[in-house]
Structure 1
Amino acid sequence: MEKIFFSSEGIARIIGKNGLMKKKIEKNLDIKIKKNEDDSLMIDSKDKVEEFLLRYFLDAITLGFPFNIAMSLIKSDKIFKQIDIKNFSKNPSRIDVIKSRVIGKEGKAKKTISYLTATDIMIKENFIGIIGEAENVHSAEEAFLKIIRGAPHAHVYKFLESEQKRRKEIEAELEEFRRKIKK
């Protein structure tokens, strides 16, 4: 049994309206969740590996990821990375500038990074959440860090396009290698 602390808003997201999200989580993961008075949840799981992954799943849910995307953290090889924007500045106006740059005009930066890295991205308050395959999550994280540090968006997109091209070349080489092995 593990005790995990969340904000009251995070707990509300996990419990859901009329407890529906909690029931859905318990049913799909074969666990029991109990809310404590101190803004914590007690998680009872038979599978310790799943209990470990559950923390990332719950963090993704509290950040606003849809259930099925958060569930991919447990049911597939996807990983979750969270970036706290406040780690890069204590100045509230600078944090607002960083958030604006990370999101981009009409959400363009977030959407472009998500598209070029084949990741799911959620930005809430001072946090950026990324879900996807490990290498793609790493590329998205690098892109956001470049933007946070002030790199022009165009340079970041060019970096991601070259990463995307490199991944495709590696995949093609692997596929060719697999074909040769089968012969």
Structure 2
Amino acid sequence: MSLSPDQTATFIRLLREHETQLIVYVRALMPSLSEAEDVIQETRIRLWEQFEQFEPGSNFGAWACTIARYFVMTHYTKQGRDRLRFSSEAMERIAAEVDRASQVTDARIEVLPKCISELSESNKQLLAMCYSGNHQIQEVAKLLDRTVNATYLALSRIRRSLRSCVERRIA
């Protein structure tokens, strides 16, 4: 199979967008981390191999989880651990819940920049300093001439404000 550069870029983008959903789904079905990682890798390969069959505009995450479900069932059958395998109905419920949670997360991520833009400049600066990965909280506090506790309290208030803003916007 040979995908065009555009198809390859689309596949990579979709896989990146839905990777967490896929991982959460498989991990919900498989308690063993190493076995789950194997199934996730097999699923990624199959998604790539069958990407030409994917209908653009449909739900990539649901498609990926469906393929993963077959790999999970195959894995348990090969291992002879049928007594530990979830029923198809249970797997469908888990897939639906992972999809719902993924949609909520996507909505939150979408509105978060809008909520951040509503913050005061000093609060934006504090967030940038703390979450850019360049400074530890002690360094930020020193740079802003604050105590570490005051810096933590300010961050806590900012996070509460952002959470409230996000929840209000997606309600």
TM-score by length of 1: 0.27
Query: 1 or 2 for the larger relative contact order (CA 8 Å, sep ≥6)?
Result: 2
Which structure dedicates a bigger proportion of its chain to helix?
2
Q: Which has the higher strand share?
A: 1
Taking structure 2 as the reference length, what is the TM-score of the superposition?
Answer: 0.28
